[in-house]
Structure 1
C-alpha cells in the first residue's frame, strides 16, 4: 500500500511537468502571412514570409514540435517545405519568423532574410495557404489566403485579442528577438540607427574558401570538407553553413584561425561522386564561396573542377587561392585534412611567382605606360620561358626571350609593358590578369571591379592583399598610399512640408566614406542657422521654402554635399483674415453653434467687405463632417452687407464640442474658414473690427457684430479650462486650457521654442517670436491650446502675454523607474533609468535592464565627453518621447549621465551560467529524487521476496 502511495505521489509530482508541453502545443498560431512582393511595378511571388506567435507563458521547441517541415496549401493539393533553422525556440508570448530564401534576391526587401528565425523555399500563392502540423499529424493552425483578396505587398494579419484576420497594407513581420521589418517605406518618423552589424556581415566572398574535399572516401571513412581562412583575423563560424546540391545544410560552430584550416565532417546529405555543387554561406545566406565539380551542370560545365575517386581528394593548387574558375583552381590531390594541399602530378610546378602590381590607367598614352609586374618570392632565379599572361577578354601573351627577358632573379621583379604584351586593361569595369605555366596550370590571378583612377596602381601589400596606391613602383618594392575617395552625402528627413515652429528631424545615416575615414557633418538650414552632428533637430520661424544642405567632409578634406528642400507654411491656427486685407472680399463674420433651446436657431453669417455686389451662386458652405450646402443660383450679396444661412436651409449641424466652418467658391477654392474647440451655450463666435473671432453674448444675425467689454472675462471662463498637468493628456485637441507647472527643460535645449513642465510631464510650444528668459525650476502659468505631435500631447502658446513666471522653485528631480515600466503614461516626463550599455553609435546608446532595452539620444557627442564604453552600468535622466513605435529618452545635458560601475566580468559570467543552466539543475534534482524513490521501492521488493 505504501508503495502505491509513493508511486502515486511521484506521478502526481511529475504530471504538471509532463503536461506543460502538452498544454503549450495547442497555443502556437499563425499571426501574419505574406505571399509575395511588388518591386519596380512588377509582382514577385517568390519573396514571402510566415509569422508565428506563441500564446503561452512557456518557451517551446518548434523543431521538436513540428519537425523540419511546414505544409503549404496549394490551389489543388498540399506540399511540404523543409525548414532551415537559425533558432528553433519560440519564447513565451513571442513571435517566430519564417522567410523564403528567395527574399535575399529582392532589391528592396533583402534585409528581411537577416531577421529570419528559419527559412524555406517559396511556394505560397494567393489561392493557397499555410498549415502547421505536429509530428503526430495534429493540425495546430492553418490559414487560407484564397478566402481573402490579398495583393502583393499586403499581408494577412491576425488580431491577437480577437483572433480575427485582417488585411495589413503595411506588413510588419517580427522575429524571435522582437525585431520588426516595416514594408512601408513612406515613413514620417526619423530613422533610428540600428545596432552595429555582426562580424559575419563583414566577411567578403573568398575571405574563407572551400579548400579541399573528399566526395568518395575510402571504406570506413566519411566525406569531409576543408575550409581555409585567407584573412589575418580569427573568424567565428557560428551560424555559417555548408550546403550541397540537394539543399541539405550542415551548420558550423567554432572559429577558424588566421591563414588556418577548418575541417567539416559528418556532412548532412552527401557529395555525389560524379559531380555536385558545394556552397559556404554566412548566417544571412550570403554566399562566401562555392565550388562546382564533376558533371554538375550549373550552366557552364567547362569551368568545373575535376572529380576524384577513392582514395584521392579535390584540392586547390595553392591553398586559399580563388580565381572563381574551379577548373583552374582545383586538381586531384592526396588527402591532407587540416593541412597544406599536396597536388598529384604537378611535374615541374613552381610556386612563389605572383602578380605584384598592375597599372590599368596611366597618365598619358595607355598603350605605352600600362604595365603588369611579376615578383619572384623564391630564393632562386626562375626562367619564365613559355609561361603566359591572360586577361578577361582571353587575350594571351606568351613570355618569350624573343620579345622580353624571361629570367626573374630571386626576390626580384619582371615588368611587362602593354607595348610588348598587347594586353589592354580596362579603365572602367571589371578585369582580371592571370598567370599560367606552360602546362596551363594557373599560378596566380588578380581581379578588380572598381573604376581605375588615373595614375593609380593596383598593388600587393605586405599581407598579400591588393590595394589601390598613388605611388607607382615598377621593378621595386610596393609602397601603398591609398587614393582618397570623397565621401557620399545623403539626407533623410521626416517630411518636406512642415509648419512654422514645428520641430523636424534630420538624419545623415545613409552617408558614408568609401575609405572608412572619420567624417564631419555640417548642416546649413538656409535660415542663418548652422549645426554640426550626425542627427539634428531644427525648427523654422518664418514661412518660406528653405534649401537645407549637408556637407560631409573626411579627415583629408574631401567632401560631398547633399541638399533637401523644406517648405515651411504659416501655422493654420495663426491664419487671420483681416477686414483690411483687400486680397479677400468675403468673410465668415458670425456663427451660432449652440443656441439655448432649439438647435434650429443655428446659423452661419457671411459679410461682403467690398464696394461691389458679389454674385455667390453655387458657392459652398461646409463643416468638418464634409456636409456641403451649395448656395442657390442667382444669390447676390450687396456691398458692406451681411447674408445669413440658417440650419433649416443648409442642413449643416454645427458641433458643440468643436467644428470648422468653411466658405468655398464654385470651384471649391477656399475663401475663408473659422475653427472653434468648444461652443458655450447662447454665445455666437463673431468677428471683431481687427478680424479676430471671439465669443459674444450679443447675437446679431444680419447685423453688425456687438461686444460687451465687461463680459470678456466671463466668456473666457466659459471656454478656457483650468486644469492640472495630469488632465492635459486626456483633453481634446484645440481645447483652450490654463495650467501651472515647474520647468524641467528650458527653451533652447531641444529647440528654441520648446520647454517641458515636470510632474506628469507636458511639452509646451511657443508660437511667437520674443520668448521670455526661462530657467529650469521656474514656476509658470500658461494659457494655450492642446496640440499633439508624434503621439505627444502638449500646450501651444500663441502670445507672450499668455506666459507668466510665478516664481522659482527647486529644480525638479527625475522620477526613477525601471526600463520595463516605460509606457505612454511617462511620455514628456522627466524620468531616470539605469542599465547596462549594450551598444554605442554616434549620438545614440542602447541601455538594457532585465532583458528590456531602450534607445538614448544624447545632444552632445558621447565619446568625446564621457569616458563610457560598452558594458558599463549607468544612470540616465531625460525626457521620454516616442518616435514611430520606438521610445527614446532624450538627455538634456551631460550631467544627465552617471556612471554606476564598470563591468565585473567574472561575476556576471557566473550569473549568466547559472541562469542558463537553472532549468537543467532543477530537472537534475527532480530526476535524482525519482531515482532515489525507485531504488527504495526496488530494494524493499527484494527484501520481501527473500523473506
Structure 2
C-alpha cells in the first residue's frame, strides 16, 4: 500500500502549481501609437548610443515592459532605469546603451519595438553607419542625418549648412531650432573650492578655440545634478567666458566631481573629472592635459606655477645629497623630500599619455613618476631603460623624481621587456608600478570605472580609451599604472589594449566562487534566480521510475512465493533435496523451467472433463 501512496504523492507533486500552472490570458490592450523615431549607432568618443521612441497619439503611455531588440536576438524590457517611463502625447524619449545593453552594429543592424505581450509594433533596418550620424524617421521616411536630436523632433541634414571656416554648423533662418554646434568649445578651467564662499565664488570657464563666433543658445553645463542652459550668448573666436555659480547654480563638490558641456542636440562636446580639491586651487586645462594650479585665472589664459615643494630649483644650501651611486627606486622613495639622487628604470608609459609633464618608470623593486614642470624630456620609447637624476618630491601624496632638464634623463638601453605585476588589491607599495589585475567591471563611464566595486579605474584623455566597448558586469583583465591622489589609489590604463573583457556577463563568476570560497560582493545588481523546473521534473521522474521498478519487483517476488492449490512449491530449499546437483544448505535453487498453471488463491481445482 505504501508504494501506491508514494506514486500518488509523486503524481500530485508533478501537478503542483510550483512546477506547472495555467497561464492567465492577458487581456490588456496596448497602444499602437509608440514608434521608433531615431537610432544612433556610431557616436564619437564621449557620446553614447541610443534608440529614440515617439508617442504619436493623444494619450500618455507607460512604456514599462515594452521590448526593444536587435538582429542578434538581444532584447531589453523598458524599466525605470531609463528615468521617466511615461511618455506624453507628441513627446520623445530615448533608451541609451547603458540601460538596454543593446549594441548597435556600425556595419548595419535592425531594431524592433514590441508591446509587453510580444506583439511587434515597429521595426527599422539600416546599413553601414557613419560616425556621428543618426538613422532618423523624417517625414515618414527613414534617412541618415548628422543632426542628432535626442528627445526632440528629427531634423534633416539638408536643413542646415556647414561653415568650415568657423568649425560650426549654422542653421538656416527658417528652421525650427536655430542652434549652432561645434567641437571647438571647451571647458577650460574651474574653481571648486575658492578661498571665499563656495556658494558665491565658484565658477566654470569656457573657451572658443575655433576661428569664428558661435552662439551658445541651447548649450548646457552640468555636473549631472544641476543643468544650466545658456541663452543668447555669443562667444567669439578665442574668447574666454566665465560662468559663475550665481548664474549656473552648479555647486562643484570639493571631494571630486565631473562637469560636462552639452550642445543643443544632446551631444557631450567636452567634459572633465577632478578629484579632491584644495582651497584656492583651480583645475585647469593645458592643451589636452588637466592639472591643478594655485593661480586661478577666470576670464584669462591659464597659468601653471609650481608649489613651494615643487619649484624648478631648490635652495642648494638646503638640499640634501644622497649617495652618488644609483639607488633602487624603492630606496629613492624612502628618501626625504628635496633629496637629490639618481635611479634607473624602464619606461612603462610615455609623456602626454597621462599628462604632458610626467611619465613613469619602474625597476624590480618599485615604480615612480618622473616629473618636469618645463615638459623638457628627451625622445623616449616604451621599454627604454633610463638613468634619471633629480630631486625627490611629493605631490598630492604621490612620490615623484623631479628633473631640471632633458639632460637629467639618459637612455642606456632600449626594447626592454615590460613585466606587469599580478595583484589582487591595490596597496601603497604598488604606487608607480605597472600592474595587472582581473575582476568584475561593476561600473564604467567615459572617465573611468570600478573593478569589484573597490578598485578605481581612471581614463586619462591622452590614453584615448573608448569606454563604449566596455560592458558593466563583465569580467575585465586590466593593466595600468597605480597612481595616488591624496590617499586615494586608482589604476590608469595606458590605452584600449590594457583593457580586455575576459568573459560575458552571464558566465562571470568571482575569483572566490571559482576557488570554492565565499562569494565576493561586487556591487552588481542581482536578481532572484527562477526555479529550475526542468531539473526538478527530471529528478522527480527518476524517483518515480525507481519506485515503480521496486514495486513491480516486489510484487513479482511475492507472487512467486505463493503456493498453488496443489501445494506445489516453486522455490525448493536445497536442504530438502539430495543426490547430484544439490545445493549447499541454506541456498535456493532456481525454479523449474516448466511451472504449474497458476490458480487464484483460495479457489478449488477445476475438475477435468470426462
Whether the TM-score (by the shorter chain) exceeds 0.5 is no
Q: TM-score range by the shorter chain?
A: 0.3 to 0.5
**More strand by proportion, 1 or 2?**
1
TM-score (norm. length: structure 2): 0.39
TM-score (norm. length: structure 1): 0.27
